[in-house]
Structure 1
Amino acid sequence: MPRIPNFKEIIARSPLVFVIGVAGDSGSGKTTFTNAIRQIFGPDLVATITLDDYHRYDREERRRLGVTPLNPDANNLVQLETDVARLKEGRAIQKPVYNHETGTFGLPVPFASKKIIILEGLHTLFTPRLRELLDFSVFVDPDPEVKHAWKRRRDTEGRGYSSAEVTEEISLRGKDYETYIAPQRCHADAVIRIGNSRYGDEKGEAENVYRISLLQHRMDQKVTDVDLSIDLYSLLSFHDHAFMIEFSTEDVACARMRALTFDGAMNYGTVRKLETSIEQQTGVHPIAIFENRVTVTATDLVQLILSWRIIHWRIFLQDRI
């Protein structure tokens, strides 16, 4: 059997810098859904920019001015556009640094371009120029109760906020979210919706089990060798976990999108077959992101399927060079 070219090697030699944009509210889980890309291709090929580094004001200045980070005027989006354009050309930048623990800025740091750049932040899809620079875009859209619980846990445990400060910020941010952040759904190639599990709200915090929907536009390019088959014998004989798979068509902001929804926990073998499919398409061996796991969640499945979609588009762009 002829050897499938290792796509990591192809990317490393390619002049193309592939930019992935992930938008959504603060604490919405943006980093989670691109982790598979980072793990598959590794730090030699992938670099991530957090758009919080492009805040215009520090925490005290925002408090004094009465603005939230969701307001685009509180962010230096022009510098962001310039920096992303330089990175896309393969050039290094001096990236600003925002320290979440202190709420202040550090000194800029050198930041080298990589073959895959992931942008994560509030305004990733906000300006026409940013959208023009992106090769693939995602909007992460948790239900409010899920998002607020995540934000409260993250900001109090990892960013030095008091619970009262988080409550105040959630209240202040609501209008800005609807005005500036939510409309970015219209510009995304994929939207990820996150809700509490139908098997119990408590499963989220206790087991990281949520109801996750991956919504996408119809694909113009053919996708082959995607194996998401389920072993019914194993399911009926050995499976101890409840899970659900659903397909539907839903309205998302200004478009109708196809939605693939997962809920619950599944045996790892289900995901391993999809990992094998990615290996076959890319020549990257082994891909075992969830290795040694007995079960995987809906979050894990959507993370892997989204990664396959991104890889498929990157392969399509490579063939056009």
Structure 2
Amino acid sequence: MSSFTFHDSIRASPYIYIIGVAGDSGSGKTTFSDAIVSIFGTDLVSTITLDDYHLYDREERARRGITPLDPKANDLDRLARDVATLKQGRPIQKPVYSHATGTFGDPVPFHPTKFVILEGLHPFATPELLRHLDYTIFVDPDNEVKYDWKLRRDVGKRNYTPEAALEEIQRREPDYRQYVFPQRGSAGTVIRIAYSGYGKSLGTARNIYRITLGMKPPETCLEDIELNIDLCGLFTRSSHDFLLECSTLDQDDRKMRTLTIDGELSHETIHRIERNIEEQTGVHPIDIFTGKEVIAGSDLVRLIISWQIINHRILIDLRQMQKA
């Protein structure tokens, strides 16, 4: 392999690759955004939390009877202008919203890295936003899972009482269905999350859920990536239950090919995929699961998404080289 790595190529390119990660508040978006940061590094990846683009603070929203899920409660025009500026490689003055106080701070300068993640309720809610995005993800947990996560987060980190958190969840649900959920139909990648078929308690105890990954077919694959199952180990050493299922799903008036993972897989399965990606791209090391003996479905999905982003980003460079 040439000593000129994927990272070198990305640093040398002026192209700003923008990723939109959409979903309800507390839906687990950050779990998948963090995996991209872990693989490419903070020197190449930065994240903008779109709550910073709220138009009103918490007190004003209460007076107006409006939730952040309503696009009218967000400055999507400013967001679209800022995304267009970042796409050109130029810095912006980014607004700042504090969840601890429900108020705004002073804007801060934000300089684009080579990958910019837009994470929030409305990253591709308008055609103006969508046309600037290179990769789109919608995170869609079942209501039971989402409500449990939200209660733990809002009570533990956002100073809500359990009663206030539950009331907020119920009040926001109609707006979620009307304004946020329709974005799922525009997403190239959809992640659905349910409690594990091996027991609901595994979610809280070991972060094990039934994960269904739906993706539109990649435009190109650099090389085949093998998902290795050690049959000898499966029958003689493995003590963990798992399920892998591939199917076609009718969703949002389109068909998506899906992979469903439940339970726990051996780390060696993921380790071999990691090594294959390293050899193809020069992204080294990809050790985001180091120290784990077993891998949950969300871990495998995070790696597959990163693999697809790598393929798409390299394809962009190849096309630009052909035009030159």
Question: Which range, TM-score by smaller chain?
Answer: over 0.9
Q: Distance in 1 between matches of 2:41 and 2:68?
A: 30
Deviation per CA, 1:166-214: give whole Å up to 9, x if none: 1111111111111101110110001000000000111111110000011
Q: More displaced, 213-222 or 166-175?
A: 213-222
Work out whether 1:313 is the aligned partner of 2:312: yes
Q: Contact (CA 8 Å) 2:247, 2:258: kept in 1 or not?
A: yes
Which residue is 2:276 aligned to?
277
* Contact 1:91/1:113 (8 A) holds in 2: yes
Is 1:36 matched with 2:35? yes
Give the alignment's TM-score, normalised by structure 2.
Answer: 0.97
- The 8 Å contact of residues 185 and 252 in structure 1, kept in 2 or not, is answered as no
1:228-247 alignment runs, 5 A limit: 228-247=227-246
Check the 8 A contact 1:275/1:288 in 2, yes or no. Answer: yes
Instruction: Look up the match of 2:201.
Output: 202
Which residue identity lines up with residue 165 of structure 2 in the other structure? V
Query: Could you tell me how far apart the structure 1 residues matched to 2:292 and 2:228 are?
Result: 19
Asked if 1:121 corresponds to 2:120, the answer is: yes
Question: Where does 1:81-96 land on structure 2 (aligned, <5 Å)?
Answer: 81-96=80-95
Displacement after TM superposition at 1:4 (Å): 6.0
Give the equivalent residue in structure 2 for 1:226.
225
Give the 3-state SS of the residue equivalent to 1:40 in structure 2: helix
Give the letter for the 1:302 counterpart. V
> In the TM superposition, what are the counterparts of 1:115-264 in structure 2 within 5 Å?
115-264=114-263
Q: Secondary structure of 1:199's match?
A: coil
**What fraction of aligned residue pairs are identical, expressed as a percent?**
52
Structure 1's unaligned 5+ residue stretches are none
Please say if residues 34 and 307 of structure 1, whose CA atoms lie closer than 8 Å, have aligned partners that are also in contact. no
Moved more, 240-249 or 34-43: 34-43
The equivalent residue for 1:303 is 302
Q: Which runs of 5+ in 2 are unaligned?
A: none
Q: Which residue identity lines up with residue 53 of structure 1 in the other structure?
A: D
Query: How much does 1:277 deviate?
Result: 1.4
| 1:320–1:285 Cα change, 3 Å | same
2:6/2:283 contact within 8 Å kept: yes
**Structure 1 equivalent of residue 49 of structure 2:** 50
**Structure 1 residues 223 and 144: CA distance shift in structure 2, 3 A:** farther
Return the alpha-carbon distance in structure 2 between the equivalents of residues 201 and 287 of structure 1: 30
Q: State the shift of 1:225 in Å.
A: 2.8
In the TM superposition, what is the alpha-carbon distance from 1:286 to its structure 2 partner? 1.6
Give yes or no for contact 2:221–2:311 (8 Å, CA) kept in 1. Answer: no
Partner letter of residue 218 of structure 2?
A: M
Q: Could you tell me which amino acid in structure 1 is paired with residue 265 of structure 2?
A: M
Deviation at 1:275, TM superposition (A): 0.6
TM-score by length of 1: 0.98
Checking the alignment, whether the CA contact within 8 Å between 1:51 and 1:120 is kept in structure 2 is: yes
Q: What CA deviation, in whole Å up to 9, does each residue of 1:3-36 have, x standing for no partner?
A: 3631011101101000000100000011111222
